Amino acid sequence: MNTDMLLSDVQFSELYLYLTSKERFGLGPAQGNVTCDHTLRSTLEWMKKHRVQDIRATIEKIVDLGGHCDCEVLLNVTPATWEERRGEEITGPDSLGESEWQQLVSDLLSHS
């Protein structure tokens, strides 16, 4: 797949560092100031602040790797995972159906 529009490994590490800062979620559960509200709010905040070109493509990839909300990104999508798997095809549309998948991603983008 075309990975040009996804976050680079370096950018993803920066995002991950942002999420693990004390002002956000900290390094483990309940160590930071923010509790996950089951959205990708902080992840999207960072992407908007850093003018990420194709936020939707990156979110699709993050969700496909198991990051349905900010705390799941921390758990399931580490920088090592990103580096290893960002080039893989996303499997979401195959398991959910294309339109359900697009709806899920749109919901995550609009509720965050």
> Contact residues for Zn ion (CB under 5 A)?
36, 69, 71
Cβ count within 10 A of residue 11: 16
Q: Cβ of residue 101: shortest distance to Zn ion, in angstroms?
A: 20
Residue 19 CB contacts under 8 Å (≥ 6 apart), including other chains? 25, 42, 43, 46, 70, 73, 74
Q: Cβ of residue 4: shortest distance to Zn ion, in angstroms?
A: 29
- Distance, CA of 40 to chain centre: 7
Q: Give 57 or 69: the residue with its C-beta nearer to Zn ion.
A: 69
Q: Give 15 or 71: the residue with its C-beta nearer to Zn ion.
A: 71
Q: Cβ of residue 68: shortest distance to Zn ion, in angstroms?
A: 7
Q: Give 66 or 97: the residue with its C-beta nearer to Zn ion.
A: 66
Where do runs of H (alpha helix) occur along 23-65?
41-49, 55-64
